Chains A and B, each alone.
Chain A
Amino acid sequence: MSKPQATLRTPLGKVRGLGSAKHGAGHFITQRVSAVALVFLVPWFLISLIGAVRGGYDGALAWVADPINAVLVLLAVGASLYHMRLGMQVVVEDYIGKNSTKAVLLILNTFICVALFAITAYAVLKVAIA
């Protein structure tokens, strides 16, 4: 090799365009971009939720109905679900050797995260727009 490699990817990896997980660096990057968002969203969510839970049902309703809270809840839960779908994907890819089981679990993982987001979107929009 005449000159040092500019990237960590091997020439063969570049040609095939696939890593061990059958996809490129996109997973690594999106996992971290969502992590950066969550570093800000999660503390807000925890602190803000405390007050809402203490206020009983009426307090919870008023909290979700607030326009800023509604948007931030969608962002916080949405980013969390996106991030955890990527995380669980790695766990499944690491520990499940059998391809058919792996495929079923990966699909299930996606379905769970999308379903949880649908429920969240329904709940927040119903309260905030009503």
Chain B
Amino acid sequence: MSDWTDTRPMSPHTTIWKWHLTMASSILHRVTGVGNYIGIFLVVAWLFATAVGPDYYEPLSGLIGSIWGQLILFGFTVSVSYHTLNGVRHLFMDAGKGLNPKMGSFLAGLVLVLAVVLAVTIWMLAGLVPGVDPLHLTGAA
């Protein structure tokens, strides 16, 4: 594997650091970034299936509509919501704003809450939550 032989802890020092909000936020940004990397395969597959025809589209649609497909899709929605909102937070920090410990922790926590709220809102608007269809969208999911 790696030719790293130094036994001292590597950054991020998760084994010796106390967990705190901004640290979790930083790691989550990376985790959701990798999650989005995987998730876009689904988007590209959907576009490809749309272009090729119903023979490809219908099976894929069925797969996404299954319980596992819906779980993956919701995970992807949360992942995109978090990475996007936290990305805006990063742009603020790049501009030198909100860098004191109190504001840093507050914004990290706020993004965490807003990401879940945003993901659930998207699903409700999309009519993907059973019994909820505020936009009265027609057709099968």
Q: Please indicate the chain A residues that have their CB under 8 angstroms from the CB of B30 in the complex.
A: 91
- The DSSP consensus for interface residues of chain A is helix
B66 at the A/B interface (Cβ < 8 Å)?
no
Partner of B87, one of A39, A43, A47: A39
Q: Is the CB of A127 within 8 A of B3?
A: no
Instruction: Answer whether A50 and B3 are a contact pair too, CB < 8 Å, given A56-B140, A84-B36, A120-B44.
Output: no
Q: Please indicate the chain B residues that have their CB under 8 angstroms from the CB of A107 in the complex.
A: none
Q: Which residues of B (108-137) have their CB < 8 Å from a CB of A?
A: 122, 125-127, 137
> Closest CB-CB distance, B8 to chain A, in whole Å?
14
Q: Give CA–CA (A50, B135) in the complex, Å.
A: 11
> Closest CB-CB distance, A16 to chain B, in whole Å?
23
Give 6 closest A-B pairs by Cβ, nearest first.
Answer: A123-B51, A97-B2, A50-B126, A123-B47, A97-B4, A54-B137
20 A-B pairs (CB sep. < 8 Å): A35-B87, A39-B87, A43-B84, A46-B122, A47-B125, A50-B122, A50-B126, A53-B126, A54-B139, A55-B139, A57-B50, A57-B54, A64-B50, A77-B43, A80-B40, A84-B37, A87-B37, A88-B33, A91-B34, A126-B51
